[in-house]
Amino acid sequence: MTVYQSAARPGPSRRNRRLMFSLIGAMAVAAAGVTVPAFADTDPDVRLIVGLEAAERQDTTEELADKGYRLKTKGRLEQLGARTLLVSEDDAAKVAARLRGQDGVAFVQLDRRVSALAEPEAEVTESASPAPSEPVEAASEPSSTPPDEPPPLEVSSPPTTTTPPDEPTVGEDPKNPDGGSTTTASEPEPADPPAVTAAPWDALAQLGVPEALRSSTAWSSQTVAVVDTGVSPVGDLAGAVLPGANVVENAPDPADARDDSTDGHGTAVASLIKSACPACKILPVKALDKRGTAYESEVAQGITYAADKGARIINLSFGAPVQPGTPDAGELLQTAVNYARGKGAVVLASAGNDAYGTVKYYPAANNGVLAVSGTNSAGARYTKADDPAGLAGANSGASWVDLAAPYCAAALTTAGTRDQVCGTSFSTALVSGVAGLVKSRTAAANLWTIENALTGTATAPAATDAWLAFGEVRADRAVLKVDTTAPVVGATTPAYLKRFRGTVSVAASNITDAGGGYPGGSGVTHAGLYVDGKWYASDYSAPFAVNYNSGTLNRTVKLQWKVFDRAGNVGILNRNVIADNAGPTLTWTSGPKNAKVKGTVTIKAKASDPAGVSRVELWINGKLKQWDWTSSYSFKVNTKSYGKTIKVQLRANDKVGNVRSLTTYTWKR
């Protein structure tokens, strides 16, 4: 969420930027629940996003097609199991309800708009989003503020000091909490934004970034994705902006994400990330159009692209409010976030600038996203009292807002100069930069490590103002709270070179984990058993044990336990054991075989086994009659005790349970 500001009054060339500030009125109308018609030339169709259950996607698509709902694939949404369907705005709610009742459908939602410039979006329960191919631009001035809704918000200003009067103005408007598209028949000239009378405080120093950078001389290059309006490689960003992608619908150049000339928001965001993490590279993903708005389908594709390209930190400096009870709110973005987290990416998003304490912004409020709000120069929540105009403030809510960083900072413009910018868009960028710094200092830091380094070292809010879950980020502490100590496996069974046959229980015990400043370490998540260098099985709960089936092997087997903690560290314990499935050797050394017999007959045998012979047995007519534990293995048989035909067999047992049987001989009396 962004609020740019400058002391300069906008001249005629800034007409478009001034128009942004007039969107305040649209927010007030939407807050009152009023739906104002969109522009007359707006396409009445809206796009539904249909999420399909993974196991039934093709069948569900075909079944829905038979019922007249022909779902379309759209870019990288296919990777998320989502398809699209264009319907008329009047039928959207009815069609969505029908689709939700179909087997194999996981969710159905409108393709809503999110914004870095607070453009109004359609109300999400009864009315639909603007047409996908013709986004609505709405502008009006407020006539009044509904008494039971938050007041409309305007551009904010930072704490008071002086800003040069010739600095350019860049700006972001607040969001429309209810999402109704609005316009007016006649549009009055919007008032000039409030003049900035303040210079940015040192945001990096407030977060302890200089101290963090002094903690090491070796920093690895890490990739931070900026899903935004594009990034122009100017100033400090020159040479740091990687080739990216443009996922904006109907974009003239799908490959061009390094051109932010129409907006500047993405460039400002990227420059703050780069300021906090000098070694980081920026992966630009252009998902927001020239007005700083995007459909959720574009954002989801941008997140997916960033994750696929290996970005392990993804910055989302935009959002939109969604009222409680909205069907399937944020489901597509949740699916995209889950996809990114599955690839190990930390996802951060802006909480918003409307000074709300109840209305949640998405994607910041999605599960697995670190929601970032803004602080003043004292590290407290940036409120309307901090804004010279008394209008803007950072959103709050300990149930969904996680972290905070300075609301105002000095960022690059697309011209390569520094300008003061304010808003949680830039708070988020600073936190993303610190996240990059953590990984830059410890390249092995994984998702859990980075998230916990940020949240576990943040300066907690005062108990009397629990406005967010963890607090303001501290880079100097975060880069040090990284667990690089592997768990220690104290013992395992079977014993070294233990012989066994068939299946054996292999256990790891006496496991300890410590490191990274966490009591008891970061915590063991699971243990994996590897056999002869290949993964065999895993156990996710202590005590860790796996049943290993050796089949018919008769040799030394190399067992290895790998015990993983949440930080991705791996403790290893090797153990060689002997699989013995061959059975003992057994020889009939004396005594009749297939022959006529009488009286008492003596049988002798010879047996051996690496594990040791436990006994040799004499079976007569299918029944065990005698056994011998001694190495002589001698048996006497009184043939008078049996009938005319006697079936005789020797069997040897080794100490691991293998049995060797000789041929059955037939005696005749």
Domains (ranges, CATH) in the chain? 3-8+201-478 (3.40.50.200), 488-580 (2.60.40.10), 585-668 (2.60.40.10)
Per-residue pLDDT tens for 427-440? 999 999 999 999 99
Over residues 374-379, the mean pLDDT reads: 94
Q: What's the burial of 512, exposed, middle or buried (CB within 10 Å: 0-12/13-18/19+)? A: middle
Model pLDDT, residue 258: 84
From the candidates 425, 432, 440, 522, which is the catalytic residue? Answer: 425
| 3-class secondary-structure state, position 590 | strand
| C-alpha pair distances (Å), 345 with each of 181, 274, 327, 337, 616 | 34, 18, 27, 9, 63
What amino acid is encoded at 186 in this protein? S
Cβ atoms of 238 and 296 within 8 Å: the answer is no
Residue 588 has pLDDT above 70, yes or no: yes
Cβ atoms of 404 and 147 within 8 Å: the answer is no
Over residues 464-490, the mean pLDDT reads: 94
Q: In the structure encoding, which two tokens stand for residue 486, read together?
A: 């592997």
| 3-class secondary-structure state, position 419 | strand
Segments of 287-364 assigned E as strands: 293-295, 313-316, 320-322, 346-350, 360-362
| C-alpha pair distances (Å), 17 with each of 21, 117, 121, 439 | 7, 10, 19, 37
Model pLDDT, residue 116: 79
Over residues 51-80, the mean pLDDT reads: 91
Residue 406 has pLDDT above 90, yes or no: yes
Cβ atoms of 363 and 330 within 8 Å: the answer is yes
Q: How many CB atoms lie within 10 A of CB 547?
A: 12
- At 27, the pLDDT band (50, 70, 90 cuts) reads very low
Model pLDDT, residue 556: 98
Residue 521 has pLDDT above 60, yes or no: yes
Model pLDDT, residue 243: 94
| 3-class secondary-structure state, position 86 | strand
Backbone phi, psi, residue 232, to 5°: -90, 130
Over residues 592-613, the mean pLDDT reads: 96
Average pLDDT, the chain: 82
pTM of the model: 0.74
- How far is it, in rounded angstroms, from Cα 597 to Cα 564? 67
Packing angle of the helix pair 447-457, 424-441 (nearest 10 deg): 120
Told to judge if 228 belongs to the known catalytic residues of this protein, a careful annotator would answer yes
* DSSP secondary structure of 356-410: -SS-EEETTTSTTEEEEEEE-TTSSB--GGGSTTS--B----TTT--EEEESEEE
Per-residue pLDDT tens for 104-152? 999 999 998 888 733 233 333 333 333 343 332 322 223 333 333 333 3
- How far is it, in rounded angstroms, from Cα 141 to Cα 188? 7
- How far is it, in rounded angstroms, from Cα 289 to Cα 248? 6
Residue 191 has pLDDT above 80, yes or no: no
Among 286-295, 535-544, 558-567, name the one with the lowest average pLDDT.
286-295
Q: Which residues are paired to 549 by β-bridges?
A: 503
Model pLDDT, residue 262: 77
- At 564, the pLDDT band (50, 70, 90 cuts) reads very high
| C-alpha pair distances (Å), 646 with each of 257, 598, 642, 663 | 91, 11, 7, 14
Q: In the structure encoding, which two tokens stand for residue 639, read together?
A: 């043939």
Close Cβ partners of 65 (under 8 Å, ≥ 6 residues apart): 71
| C-alpha pair distances (Å), 139 with each of 21, 33, 120, 182, 296 | 9, 16, 9, 7, 22
From the candidates 140, 265, 271, 522, which is the catalytic residue? Answer: 265
What secondary structure, in 3-state letters, does 428-496 show? Answer: HHHHHHHHHHHHHHCCCCCHHHHHHHHHHHCECCCHHHCCCCCEECCHHHHCCCCCCCCCEEEEEECCC
Task: Show contacts of 506-511: CB within 8 Å, 24+ apart.
Answer: 506/545, 506/546, 506/547, 506/548, 506/559, 506/561, 506/575, 507/543, 507/544, 507/545, 507/546, 508/543, 508/544, 508/545, 508/561, 508/563, 508/573, 509/543, 509/544, 511/487, 511/542, 511/544, 511/563, 511/571
The three-point CA angle 444-458-217 to 5° equals 45
From the candidates 228, 289, 386, 483, which is the catalytic residue? Answer: 228
- How far is it, in rounded angstroms, from Cα 18 to Cα 24? 11
What amino acid is encoded at 166 in this protein? D
| 3-class secondary-structure state, position 55 | helix
Among 184-188, 202-206, 609-613, name the one with the lowest average pLDDT.
184-188
Model pLDDT, residue 201: 60
Task: Quote the distance between the C-alpha of residue 89 and its chain's center.
Answer: 33
Cβ atoms of 174 and 118 within 8 Å: the answer is yes
What amino acid is encoded at 162 in this protein? T
- At 357, the pLDDT band (50, 70, 90 cuts) reads confident
Close Cβ partners of 333 (under 8 Å, ≥ 6 residues apart): 296, 299, 300, 303, 362, 363, 366
Cβ atoms of 321 and 179 within 8 Å: the answer is yes
Told to judge if 425 belongs to the known catalytic residues of this protein, a careful annotator would answer yes
Residue 505 has pLDDT above 50, yes or no: yes
Over residues 410-422, the mean pLDDT reads: 93
Model pLDDT, residue 520: 66
Segments of 193-256 assigned E as strands: 223-228, 245-246
Sign of CA dihedral 254, 260, 261, 263: positive
Model pLDDT, residue 516: 65
Residue 171 has pLDDT above 70, yes or no: no
Over residues 209-235, the mean pLDDT reads: 96
